[in-house]
Structure 1
Amino acid sequence: MSDSVKDKVIEIIAEQAVLEPSDVKMDSTLEDLGIDSLGLVESIFAIEEAFDIQVPFNANEPTESEFDISSVEAIVKAVEGLAAEKQA
C-alpha cells in the first residue's frame, strides 16, 4: 500500500469528517467518522481531483458501485487500483 496514496486519502476523508488525519483509522467506516452521503460525494470528488482518476461511483446507488466504500482501507485500495490502471 503506497503511503502517499494512503496519506492523501486519509487527509481528504479527515477534512470531510472535520477530524485530524491521526483520528482516521484504516478500519474506520465513513459512518464511524460521521461522514454522510453528501460528505461521501464530496470526498469522491476530492479523490478524483487529487489523483486525476474517475471513480466508478453512483451516488444514487452506492451499494451497486464497483468502488468499495466499506472502510477507509477499502477506499485506499480502490484508489490505488484506479491510479495504477491509469498509469498502465
Structure 2
Amino acid sequence: MSDSIKDKVIEIIAEQAVMDVADVTMESTLEDLGIDSLGLVESIFAIEEAFDIQVPFNANDPEQSDFDISSVASIVAAITELVAQKDA
C-alpha cells in the first residue's frame, strides 16, 4: 500500500472530521470520527478529486455499494485498489 495514498486519504478524512491527522487511525470508523452521511459524501468527492478516480459508492444506499467504508483501513485499501486499476 502506498503511504502517499494512505496519508492523503487520512488527511481528507481528518479534514471532514475537523480533527488532527494524528487522531485518525487506520482502525477508526467514520462513526468514531463523527463523520455523518453528508461528511462521508464530501469525503468521497474529495477522494475522487484527489486521485482522479470514480468511487463505486451509492450515497442513497451505502450498504449496496461495492465500497467498504467500515474503517479508515478499508477505505485506504479500496482507494489503493482503485488507483492501481486506473494506472494499469
Q: Which residue of 1 aligns with 2:7?
A: 7
Aligned length: 88
Q: 2: CA distance between counterparts of 1:67 and 1:80?
A: 12
TM-score by length of 1: 0.99
Gaps of 5+ in 2: none
Q: Which residue of 2 aligns with 1:19?
A: 19
Q: 2: CA distance between counterparts of 1:81 and 1:67?
A: 11
Q: Which residue of 2 aligns with 1:68?
A: 68
Q: Which residue of 1 aligns with 2:57?
A: 57
Q: Which residue of 2 aligns with 1:41?
A: 41
Q: Which residue of 2 aligns with 1:29?
A: 29
Aligned-pair CA distance for 1:46: 0.1
Which contiguous aligned blocks of 4+ residues in structure 1 show a shift greater than 4 angstroms?
A: none
Letter in structure 2 aligned against 1:37: S
Aligned-pair CA distance for 1:22: 0.3
TM-score by length of 2: 0.99
Report Cα offsets for 1:25-72 as digits up to 9, x if no partner. 000000000000000000000000000000000000001110100000
Q: 1: CA distance between counterparts of 2:64 and 2:74?
A: 15
SS of the aligned residue for 1:67 comes to coil
Gaps of 5+ in 1: none
